[in-house]
Amino acid sequence: MTKICVMSENLANKISAGEVVEKVASVVKELVENSIDALSTDIKVALTNGGLNGIIVSDNGCGMDKEDALLAFQRHATSKLLREDDLFFIDTLGFRGEALPSIASVSEVDLTTSTGGVGTHIKIKGGKLIINENSDSLVGTKIEVKNLFYNTPARLKYLKSEATELANCVSYIEKLALSYPNISFKLTNNDHIVVKTSGSNNLKKTIHEIYGLQVSSKLLEIKASNDDYDVYGYICKPEILKSNRYHMTTIVNGRVVRNNELNKAINDAYYTYKPDIKFPIVVLKINTDPTLIDVNIHPTKQDIKLSKISGLIELLTSSIKDALYKNLLVPSAVERLEATTDIITKQEIQNIIAEKETINNNDNNTQTEFNFFVEEKEKELPNIVEENKEIKKLKLYPVGAVHGTYIIAENEEGMYLIDQHAAQERINYEKFFNALKESEVYKTATLFPITIELSSSEALILKEHLEFLNSIGFILEEFGINTFKVLEHPTWLLQGYEEESIRRIIDLIISYGNKFDPIKFRENASITLACKMSIKANMHISLDAMTILLDELVKTDNPYNCPHGRPTMIKFTNYDLERMFKRVMN
C-alpha cells in the first residue's frame, strides 16, 4: 500500500512555499517529523560539528517500502495532506511534501529503510538518484544528510557557526521532546549526548530530563478548561527564573507553537511575582477543536492563529495566578543562595544566541496588543483574599534593624531579614490598587491650588481622560491654554505628597498616549505611588513602627514580593541557622 500520495497542484499552491530549508535545524525538523509520522518511539539524531558536517536521523518507525521511499523524494509528495480540507484539520505535523526533495537537491542523502521485509537503500546527490538497491536493514528508517548546500554556495554562506546551528537543533529537539513525552529522543553532537529523554510518557519526568532537578523540583501543576480549551502542564515557581523568554513552551494540539499573545499572557501572569527582566520556565499543553486553529501561515514558522484566543488567555492567566498564589512561600535563605548562584552553562549561552536570532528574524512580526477582560480581573481580588487565611497566621517579631534598611525579625520557625522599603511598598501598593478600583470615591478639595501646565500634545491626551480621572476622584478643570487646575483629589493620597502624586498620575496617563488601558494604568499608578511614598533605605524607625509595618505586611495578599517582583523578606529557618553554625551536620 502506498502511504505517500502526490499532492494536487492546487493544494501545493495553497501552501506558501518559501524557503523551506534554510539551516541545519530545518533539515533535522523535516527528518524527525517524518520519524514521528512513522509512529517511531525512539528517535536518534546524530550531528557532526553541529550538523555542518553531517546529520543522521534514525528511528524505529514503520519504515517505507521501495515505492514510497522513491516517491518521498518527488516534489509535492506527502503522506499528510491528501485533501484541501485537511489543511484546516492538521493533527499531524503536516505541511510537508516539499522539504525532503528540497533537501535532496542541495545535499547528499543516504537512506536505508525497511518495513520488515527486504529493505531499501537509496542515495541521492544534488537531486540525482545514484544508488537504488536492496538492503538488509531493520524495521525503521535511517537518513544521513551530508554536504548540505554544497551546490548552492549562496545558501551555504548563510549557515551559522557550529555553536549556533547546534543551539537551534537543541532547542528544537527539546521542545519536540516536551510535546512528545512518549517518544525517546537522543541528540548527540560529535558523539556527545546533548539531549536525552526516556519516552516515559510522563511530562514532569521529561521536564526533569531536559531541565534537571533544580527546575523539576520547583514546578507547579496547571490544569484548567473552558468551553473551548483544555490546558495542562507545569509552570516554575518564581524562585527559578531564566534571563530569556526561550523557556516558555506552548504546545497546541501536540504541536509546539510560537504565539506572542500567549507568551505575553503567561509572562504577565507572573506580574509582581518576578522582576520584569526574568522569565519563567513553562510547559503547557493546550488542546482544542482543530477548527479553532488557523494554520494557513508560512510552513516553516511555528506561528499559528487561534480563534477565541481571549478566552484562552483568560484561562491561562487565571490558572497561573491561582497556582502561584496557592504556593506563596517565603524564600528560604539557603535555597535562595543556591538558586542565585545561577551557573550559566554552555547550553544556556547557546540558547541565548538562538533566542537572539529568533528575535531578529521576527522583527517584522508586530506584537499584537491585547486587553484583559476588565471585569474578570476585578473578580480576582476578592477570591484571593478569601483563600489567604493560611498566610495571615505568619507573625513576625522585630528585634532590630541593620543600617536602617533591613529589619531583623524572629518567630518560632527562625529568623527573617525584611527589606523595609520593599515591605512598605507592598503594603502601599495593595492599598492604592484597591483604592483605585473602588467605585465609591471619597474626595477632598485641594488645600493649595495645584495647576498643571502641559505641552499642546500632552494637553490633548489629558483632555481625553478627564472623565476617567474624575471617576477615580481627581477633578480637573481647564484653566487657560494647555493648563489645568486640580479642584479635588481622593482622600487616600498621602498627606504632603498630594501634588507630586497627582503629577505622577497625569504623567502616567500621558505616557500611554492613545493606548490607554485602565487595568495597566491602575497597576502602574499603584506601583509608582507606592515606591514614592514608602519609607526609604537608611531611615531608622522605632521598634513600634517596625511592629506595625510587619503586621501590615503579613496581612497583604502577597507579603513575599514588592510590586516590582523583588523579595520583601528572606527566611533563615532554625535548621538553616544550626547548619550554618555546624550545630548540625548535613
Chain residues that interact with Zn ion, rule: CB under 5 A: 425, 531, 562, 564
CB of 299 or CB of 404, closer to Zn ion: 404
For the bound state, the minimum distance from the C-beta of residue 430 to Zn ion, rounded and expressed in Å, comes to 13
CB of 211 or CB of 560, closer to Zn ion: 560
**HEC secondary structure over 463-531:** HHCHHHHHHCCCEEEECCCCEEEEEEEECCCCCCCHHHHHHHHHHHHHHCCCCCCHHHHHHHHHHHHHH
For the bound state, the minimum distance from the C-beta of residue 564 to Zn ion, rounded and expressed in Å, comes to 4
Helix or strand holding residue 287 (H, E): strand 282-288
In the chain, the largest separation of any two C-alpha atoms, in whole Å, equals 95
CB of 121 or CB of 421, closer to Zn ion: 421
CB of 281 or CB of 525, closer to Zn ion: 525
Asked if 221 and 323 count as a contact pair (C-beta separation under 8 A), the reply is yes
Asked if 308 and 259 count as a contact pair (C-beta separation under 8 A), the reply is no
CB of 292 or CB of 427, closer to Zn ion: 427
For the bound state, the minimum distance from the C-beta of residue 534 to Zn ion, rounded and expressed in Å, comes to 6
CB of 168 or CB of 428, closer to Zn ion: 428
* DSSP 3-state of 538: coil
Q: What is the DSSP string of 315-364?
A: HHHHHHHHHHHHT--PPBHHHHHHHHT-PPPHHHHHHHHHHHHHHHHTTT
CB of 228 or CB of 268, closer to Zn ion: 268
For the bound state, the minimum distance from the C-beta of residue 535 to Zn ion, rounded and expressed in Å, comes to 10
- Cell numbers found for residue 535: 519609607
CB of 197 or CB of 534, closer to Zn ion: 534
For the bound state, the minimum distance from the C-beta of residue 433 to Zn ion, rounded and expressed in Å, comes to 14
CB of 113 or CB of 428, closer to Zn ion: 428
Closest CA to 77 of 133, 127, 2, 140: 2
- Cell numbers found for residue 79: 503522506
Closest CA to 521 of 530, 509, 539, 534: 509
Apex 585 CA angle, 579 and 586, nearest 5: 90
Q: What is the DSSP string of 374-404?
A: HHHHHHHHHHHHHHTHHHHT---EEEEEETT
For the bound state, the minimum distance from the C-beta of residue 214 to Zn ion, rounded and expressed in Å, comes to 26
Give the Cα separation of 233 and 204 in Å (integer).
Answer: 8
For the bound state, the minimum distance from the C-beta of residue 561 to Zn ion, rounded and expressed in Å, comes to 8
Give the Cα separation of 435 and 429 in Å (integer).
Answer: 10
CB of 123 or CB of 564, closer to Zn ion: 564
Asked if 452 and 579 count as a contact pair (C-beta separation under 8 A), the reply is no
CB of 139 or CB of 328, closer to Zn ion: 328
Cβ neighbours for 583, distance < 8 A, ≥ 6 positions apart: none
For the bound state, the minimum distance from the C-beta of residue 263 to Zn ion, rounded and expressed in Å, comes to 24
Pairing of strands 192-196, 184-189: antiparallel
Asked if 557 and 383 count as a contact pair (C-beta separation under 8 A), the reply is no
CB of 564 or CB of 579, closer to Zn ion: 564
Asked if 490 and 443 count as a contact pair (C-beta separation under 8 A), the reply is yes
For the bound state, the minimum distance from the C-beta of residue 527 to Zn ion, rounded and expressed in Å, comes to 8
For the bound state, the minimum distance from the C-beta of residue 429 to Zn ion, rounded and expressed in Å, comes to 8
For the bound state, the minimum distance from the C-beta of residue 566 to Zn ion, rounded and expressed in Å, comes to 5
**What is the four-CA torsion angle of 155, 158, 159, 163, rounded to 10 degrees?**
180
For the bound state, the minimum distance from the C-beta of residue 361 to Zn ion, rounded and expressed in Å, comes to 35
* DSSP 3-state of 302: coil
Closest CA to 529 of 474, 460, 567, 481: 474
Closest CA to 90 of 297, 293, 259, 257: 293
For the bound state, the minimum distance from the C-beta of residue 563 to Zn ion, rounded and expressed in Å, comes to 6
For the bound state, the minimum distance from the C-beta of residue 514 to Zn ion, rounded and expressed in Å, comes to 29
Asked if 194 and 44 count as a contact pair (C-beta separation under 8 A), the reply is no
Task: State the burial class of residue 368 (Cβ atoms within 10 Å of its Cβ: 0-12, 13-18, 19+).
Answer: exposed
CB of 316 or CB of 562, closer to Zn ion: 562
Q: What is the DSSP string of 123-158?
A: EEETTEEEEEEEE-PPSEEEEEEESTTTT-HHHHTT
CB of 436 or CB of 530, closer to Zn ion: 530
